[in-house]
Amino acid sequence: MKEYKVIILDLDGTLSDSGIGITKCVQYALKKLNIIEEDLEKLKHFVGPPLKDELMKTYGCSEEQAKQGVEFYRERYTPIGIYETEIYPGTEEMLEMLKGNGKYIALATSKPLPMAEEVLKYLKIYSYFDKVMGAELKGPRQSKVDVLEALFDEMPDSITKKQCIMIGDTCFDIDGANTVGIDSIGVDYGFGDKDEMLAHGAKAIAYSATELCNMLLK
């Protein structure tokens, strides 16, 4: 694998195991929309893609209902769900190694930016990042592509896309990287499917943060 100067990381399912917090908040929002789902496992596909889109796709919500669902989700997520997360083993050590080897480290997540920053601070890894980019709470920047394009707008002009690689756990990350024209690696310890990520063009699959670190420092 070629050497990359800029490492762009997804958050949920890549740096942190946030499944419980996210699925419980989706369950809470669905209940307020009069949709009952007792099995949290059936809600894991909500980790990664924009929440509004997934509510419309999965439950046939209108755009207005889905927007209301997002507000309900945040009622629980902001005070409680945001902290129902833990860092994957070896992740902080990986970030420390990447930073020590002169890598530019960025975050690109579909989670709203203020919430993403709060999670990084809660996990005590915020200081490793040169740039953090997330979705807007109410603005048009929502998809992974939107977030990546905004990230490139704010990174130094000296950085080229050939120097960048996207790391994520779902096809949304791989597809986003493809759309903006950068390479990608999938991680198998998150919420996506490794075979799907490879089929969508991921250059490789990492099975742990330690293995990912070794790939990026070869």
pLDDT in tens, 68-116: 999 999 999 999 999 999 999 999 999 999 999 999 999 999 999 999 9
Tell me the CA distances in angstroms from 79 to 25, 118, 162, 185, 205, one per residue in order. 11, 11, 40, 33, 34
Query: Is residue 175 very low, low, confident or very high in pLDDT (cuts 50, 70, 90)?
Result: very high
Residue 40, number of CB atoms within 10 A of its CB: 14
Using only C-alpha atoms, the chain has a radius of gyration, in whole angstroms, of 17
Question: Strand order in 6-9's β-sheet?
Answer: 131-135, 104-112, 6-9, 164-168, 183-187, 205-206
Q: Cα separation of 119 and 86, whole Å?
A: 9
Domains and CATH numbers, the chain: 6-17+86-216 (3.40.50.1000), 19-83 (1.10.150.240)
Confidence of residue 218 (pLDDT cuts 50, 70, 90): confident
Residue 94, pLDDT score: 98
Please report the sign of the dihedral spanned by the C-alpha atoms of residue 71, residue 76, residue 79, residue 84.
negative
To the query of whether residue 10 is one of the catalytic residues in this protein, the response is yes
Q: What is the pLDDT of residue 141?
A: 87
The residues facing 107 across adjacent strands are 9, 132
C-alpha span between 168 and 177 (Å, rounded): 10
Query: pTM for the full model?
Result: 0.92
Residue 171 contacts residue 192 (beta carbons within 8 Å)? yes
Axis crossing angle, helix 144-154 with helix 171-180, rounded to the nearest 10: 50
Question: Residue 169 has which token pair?
Answer: 């756990």
Annotated catalytic residue, options 10, 17, 169, 173: 10
User: Mind listing the pLDDT tens digit for each residue in 106-154?
Assistant: 999 999 999 999 999 999 999 999 999 999 988 888 899 999 999 999 9
Summarize pLDDT for 11-25 with one digit per residue, the tens: 999 999 999 999 999
- State the alpha helices, DSSP H only, in the chain: 19-32, 51-59, 63-77, 91-100, 113-122, 144-154, 171-180, 194-199, 209-216
